[in-house]
Structure 1
Amino acid sequence: MLRDIYMSRGPLAAFAAEGLFWGSFAALVPVIKAQAGLSDGDFGVVMLIAALGAVSAMWLAPRAEAKLGRWTLPVLAAVMAGAFVFPGYATNGVFLAVVMMGATIGSGSLDVAMNARISILEGRSGRPLMNLAHGIFSVAYAVSALMAGLGREIGWTPSEIFAAGVALCGLLILQMIAAPVPDPEPVSEETAKRRLPWVMLFPAGMIVLLGFMTEQATEGWSALHLERGLGAGAAEGALGPAILGMTMAIGRLSGQVIVHYWSEAVVIRVATVIAALGSAIAAWAPSLFIAYLGFGLLGIGVSVVAPMAFAWVGRMVPDDKKALAISRIAVLGYSGFFIGPPLMGFLAEGFGLPVSFTAISVLLLLVPLVLVPMVARYRP
């Protein structure tokens, strides 16, 4: 694993940068939401608006990658870091929606590019790296969520916490510059003209959608669920997203080993059932301990869903098509990354957060029952 980390250290720095900002944001949701004076439904609308910019950016990400080449990751990481300066200053919903759209544009574009670069490295090295990369994201997410929660406890403002994140991201950008992934090698004209198979991309994208919808919904609302429903304090509430991040890191790093023994289809099936069970437990937990247990199971299960889907698709397409294929399933899949919080907000407004987490549990069961068999039928 140390060899894998060294080989992929450039893209891994990009995954760490993503986790750094989204972990901080998850722990700061209660204070940012209150500072902007938003209800659950209003906050859901803000995140839905932010999602529109992200989806557009993901669709165009392959063009940005083609133009920027080996500078893709550091440039997009710098854009994301610059955008995350502003959410801490938001005092109304309109301003928060605009600045979060900027953050999701930078984050979404970087996400497509770094997954494509990891997929290229996987193809060239013959080593499974996707779970490792997403595991690094989860470690960075968990640590930053916990540190942001502690920052809240000692009186730091959101703007100060995000400023510290920007400084740390600068160091990660230096690593991206120092260890770039070479551009894809040219392919034959026949391969270049080959169209991407939507019969495989659509269900794979839906798997990613449900995985990221679960992940981001939990990231965005777990702290609020714990603080509102179970009386947790700021640090105890931040443990919700922190536990999610830590267990996702454990699941993804374990997936680095499991993928040598089980196929992607088997892993995704088992993982989504575990995640669905965890979401249901967290939804109706009578105590903080049981809720933490539920979020832990959810994290272990959902951790490998998206990485396995990306690796599965990346294995089926040539190098020069990887960025395009990942972009297309990311447009669909990462819609879930941003649809999750507004969906949770709308359901919480009408029925409460326990019902919101129960709905997530039910939706996850579509993966093993419907979507995995659809992808498995495709033969490149």
Structure 2
Amino acid sequence: MAPVSTRAAISALFFVNGLLVGSWAPKIPALMARHGFTEATAGVLVLLLGLGSLCVMPLFGAMVARAGSARAVRLAAWLLASGLVWITLAPELLSLGLAVLAFGGLVGGMDVAMNANAVAVERSLGRAIMSSCHGFWSLGAFAGAGAGGIAIQGFGELPHALAVTVLFAAVLLAVAPRLLADGPAPGAARVPLRLPRTPLPYLIGLMALASMIPEGAILDWAAVYLEREMGASLALAGWGFAACAGAMAVMRFLGDRLRRRFGAVRTLRVSTLLAMAGLVVAGLAEGPVPAIAGFALAGLGIANMVPIAFSAAGNVPGLAAGMGLSVVTMMGYSGILLAPGGIGWLAERMSLGTIYIALGLLLLVPLLLSRLARTADFEAP
């Protein structure tokens, strides 16, 4: 199959996965209104979403190792396609929680499998594509979140869920046959279904964890920081994460070219320094506009840190891509899952500005471990 075709196919899957995840965000207030539960219960649902992802990721990592990423991503995607419909149709809180748990699990499973397929496409092309794949995910998430609220308000929850499902399924039908087949060669030894015994994927996972905690902190707390500590209006406060997300999307589409030119290690180091500088600027800012500029600068840096970590994990010598990626994705996404609650606890004891400065210092971890990203580099065949 043509390399361009396989690259377009996996990019399309990143986009619709982001679209589905983005479409979940505007459903939360609609579910709260329909079921009559509080913010605390909504927080439990968000926790279930993350726990589902963390529990299922290793299973799909093992499937990738045994059967290849193309088969794994097709299975996860088809099971996931109607997830929003089941969430919408859940009649009471218990069934809703189970539907959200399953939805989160399949999102996580698809995430591992499609990242593994992107690694396989990188190998076949002999060059990096991971950052642009994550750029397509960002575009999908932006589209899902932006259009979702309008669609739910204008047409209702179920029509919105059905429309997203139909679009997801249509894209999947079109591109699934074009995914790069990367299963083990006939007669090859079966990969043991166990966690890696080498420390390298866990160290790369530590890099991903440290990289994703600041992203989650900006997502969940930038607006609160700008409104409560900077005195910004609600409309202006929303630009904290928007500036970060927009900068991330742009830089992700540039990231593969930068990595090919300068190498993964140097790109990761410069990205980490940019992110550190942005977080410190935001934390030290005396007004909302400089803080927003700091979040944008942080987004430029954060954008390519996780894609590089994923590429590095998928190319650890002597380790199946699915097993390395399952470790790194679990560790990385646990940062976004665990960070909001921990930062909320800390914010009752210190300013968010101080916390953002501390998160800038946390990025010393990927900076010091950046040499491990050398497995993300490719040579043309």
TM-score (norm 2): 0.79
Report the secondary structure of 1:183's partner residue. coil
Q: Which amino acid aligns with 2:13?
A: A
Q: Which amino acid aligns with 2:59?
A: L
Structure exhibiting the larger radius of gyration computed from Cα positions: 2
- 1:189-208 equivalent positions in 2, closer than 5 A: 196=196, 198-208=198-208
Q: Mean Cα displacement is larger for which, 103-112 or 216-225?
A: 216-225
**Structure 2: how far apart are the matches of 1:20 and 1:343?**
28
Distance 1:215 1:48, change over 3 A: same
Q: Mean Cα displacement is larger for which, 211-220 or 292-301?
A: 211-220
- 1:223-242 equivalent positions in 2, closer than 5 A: 230-233=232-235, 239-242=239-242
Aligned partners of 1:27 and 1:238 also within 8 Å: no
- 1:278-297 equivalent positions in 2, closer than 5 A: 278-283=278-283, 288-297=288-297
Residue 79 of structure 1 corresponds to which residue in structure 2? 79
- Could you say what the CA RMSD is over the residues aligned between the two structures, in angstroms? 3.9
Matched residues, number: 368
Q: Mean Cα displacement is larger for which, 11-20 or 28-37?
A: 28-37
Q: Which amino acid aligns with 1:309?
A: A
> How far has the Cα of 1:115 moved from its partner?
0.8
Distance 1:172 1:244, change over 3 A: farther
Q: 2:19 aligned with 1:20, yes or no?
A: yes
Residue 313 of structure 1 corresponds to which residue in structure 2? 313
Q: Mean Cα displacement is larger for which, 173-182 or 109-118?
A: 173-182
- Unaligned runs of at least 5 residues, structure 1: none
**Structure 2: how far apart are the matches of 1:213 and 1:273?**
16
CA deviations on 1:259-283 (whole Å, 9 max, x unpaired) are: 1222222222221222233234445
Q: Which amino acid aligns with 1:330?
A: T
- 1:170-249 equivalent positions in 2, closer than 5 A: 170-186=169-185, 196=196, 198-222=198-222, 230-233=232-235, 239-249=239-249
Q: Which amino acid aligns with 1:333?
A: G
Report the secondary structure of 1:259's partner residue. helix
Q: Which amino acid aligns with 2:20?
A: F
Q: Which amino acid aligns with 1:201?
A: P
Residue 372 of structure 1 corresponds to which residue in structure 2? 370
Distance 1:219 1:291, change over 3 A: same
> How far has the Cα of 1:125 moved from its partner?
2.1
Q: Which amino acid aligns with 1:313?
A: A
**Structure 2: how far apart are the matches of 1:32 and 1:276?**
37
Report the secondary structure of 1:127's partner residue. coil
**Structure 1: how far apart are the matches of 2:254 and 2:100?**
33
Q: 2:15 aligned with 1:9, yes or no?
A: no
Residue 38 of structure 1 corresponds to which residue in structure 2? 39
> How far has the Cα of 1:350 moved from its partner?
5.5
Distance 1:181 1:263, change over 3 A: same
Residue 106 of structure 2 corresponds to which residue in structure 1? 106
**Structure 2: how far apart are the matches of 1:344 and 1:17?**
30
**Structure 2: how far apart are the matches of 1:36 and 1:274?**
41
Aligned partners of 1:44 and 1:341 also within 8 Å: no
**Structure 2: how far apart are the matches of 1:274 and 1:4?**
33
Report the secondary structure of 1:230's partner residue. coil
Distance 1:68 1:124, change over 3 A: closer
Distance 1:118 1:272, change over 3 A: same
Q: Which amino acid aligns with 2:361?
A: V
Report the secondary structure of 2:39's partner residue. coil
CA deviations on 1:356-375 (whole Å, 9 max, x unpaired) are: 54443332232213x32566
**Structure 2: how far apart are the matches of 1:222 and 1:156?**
31
**Structure 1: how far apart are the matches of 2:331 and 2:62?**
18
**Structure 2: how far apart are the matches of 1:293 and 1:131?**
22
CA deviations on 1:274-300 (whole Å, 9 max, x unpaired) are: 223323444565555434323322221
**Structure 2: how far apart are the matches of 1:189 and 1:75?**
23
Q: Which amino acid aligns with 1:139?
A: L
Q: Mean Cα displacement is larger for which, 104-113 or 217-226?
A: 217-226
> How far has the Cα of 1:201 moved from its partner?
1.0
Residue 118 of structure 2 corresponds to which residue in structure 1? 118
**Structure 1: how far apart are the matches of 2:348 and 2:95?**
22
Aligned partners of 1:5 and 1:12 also within 8 Å: no
**Structure 2: how far apart are the matches of 1:120 and 1:143?**
27
Q: Which amino acid aligns with 2:279?
A: S
> How far has the Cα of 1:107 moved from its partner?
1.0
Residue 133 of structure 2 corresponds to which residue in structure 1? 133
Distance 1:150 1:349, change over 3 A: farther
> How far has the Cα of 1:189 moved from its partner?
6.0
Aligned partners of 1:44 and 1:342 also within 8 Å: no
Aligned partners of 1:30 and 1:223 also within 8 Å: no
Q: Which amino acid aligns with 1:231?
A: S
CA deviations on 1:308-351 (whole Å, 9 max, x unpaired) are: 11222333336x81112212222222222322333334334655
Q: Which amino acid aligns with 1:12?
A: S
Aligned partners of 2:5 and 2:178 also within 8 Å: no
Aligned partners of 1:280 and 1:294 also within 8 Å: yes
- 1:314-353 equivalent positions in 2, closer than 5 A: 314-317=314-317, 321-348=320-347, 351=350, 353=352
> How far has the Cα of 1:226 moved from its partner?
5.4
Q: Mean Cα displacement is larger for which, 246-255 or 286-295?
A: 286-295
Residue 378 of structure 2 corresponds to which residue in structure 1? none
> How far has the Cα of 1:11 moved from its partner?
1.7
Distance 1:282 1:69, change over 3 A: closer
